[in-house]
Amino acid sequence: MSPLENIAGGSWQGPFSDAVAKRAVAALEGGRLLFFPELAFALQADEMVFLDPDCSDGRAKNLSYDSRSGKLKGTALPLPERERLKAMVARFAKHAQALVAGLLPGYVPHLRLGRTSYRPIEVKERPSSYRKDDSRLHVDAFPSRPNGGERILRVFSNVNPDGQARVWRVGEPFEVCAERFLPRLCPPFPGKGKLLQALRLTRGYRSPYDHYMLSLHDSMKADETYQRQCPQCEVPFPAATSWMVFTDQVSHAAMAGQYVFEQTFYLPVQGLHDPSTAPLKVLERLLARELVA
Ligand code: SIN
Ligand code: FE
């Protein structure tokens, strides 16, 4: 079965029928990706100059925008270009929010808006330690930003001007992957979450859930044999298309491509149509213990 569920339409505002909305939720929570083959994020003529890796300050792999503070990080561009670049990223954030509101109205009361990113660096050129290397299959989990079981929902759009696809690999279902790796993962040592928080090494408390997700992320990336031999398929996202996925659930790796936008949303498990599909619930079932207080 293809990991993609196609959703027709070229408008970020929809409208989407109830039947399409239902299909979208079932696919997402079932560990598939929503693929929007006709949905492009159109740049304005004066924004084409930002299709340039030099937009990045070269330190982080992505530019990152926070809608709440209105701050854009990761660029060294001077004013007024910087403001125009920010307006472009902010417009993508609005489009992604409209898409989620129209297609997934059941999630809306529960959703928390995360960062927006712009990724102008060719994936193959992003320098990386293995932990940061997103060309290795992984589920998303962040060392300094624990999320206590909340889902990570991401909207991506490929704006490559030369017709270059964003190429991903998609791996095996979350539960299969968790069952494979859990026997190798060490439990968190008591008090570690509180200590990391006190030392401000994490923003908030790293719960046992966050510990296991991070260990899973790291162990998957560290296992070269697994990377090569686990069941997987290559998924090219052509230029001028968009896709949406729970990246904490779907094993993914970015292999090639340049110029992608991404918007993150956080969703508490109780906001899901079927909470039993959440990585939190799957891990709690497999470990037979609660993982968030
Ligand atoms: C990732 O989320 O691991 C990278 C996705 C991408 O930049 O295409
Ligand atoms: Fe990722």
Beta bridge partners of 73: 64
Closest ligand 1 atom to residue 252 Cα is 3
Q: 63: closest CA among 87, 31, 96?
A: 87
In angstroms, what is the span from residue 252 Cα to ligand 2's centroid?
Answer: 6
pLDDT digits (tens, 9 = 90+) for 232-271: 999 999 999 999 999 999 999 999 999 999 999 999 999 9
Q: Which residues contact 141 (CB under 8 A, 6 or more apart)?
A: 210, 213, 214, 216, 217, 248
pLDDT bracket for residue 293 (50, 70, 90) = confident
Q: Are 250 and 31 in contact (CB under 8 A)?
A: yes
Domain boundaries, the chain: 4-42+62-287
Q: Is the predicted pLDDT of residue 285 greater than 70, yes or no?
A: yes
What is the value of pTM for the model shown? 0.97
- Cβ of 254 closer than 6 Å to ligand 1, yes or no, is yes
Dihedral, CA of residue 251, residue 256, residue 258 and residue 261, to nearest 10: -10
149-162 pLDDT, tens digit per residue, is 999 999 999 999 99
What is the rounded average pLDDT for all residues in the chain?
96
In the reported structure, the alpha carbon of residue 137 is separated from the centroid of ligand 2 by a whole-number distance in angstroms of: 8
Structure tokens at 137: 């299959």
For residues 230 and 169, give the distance between their C-alpha atoms in angstroms, rounded to a whole number.
11
Residue 150: both structure tokens together: 């909340």
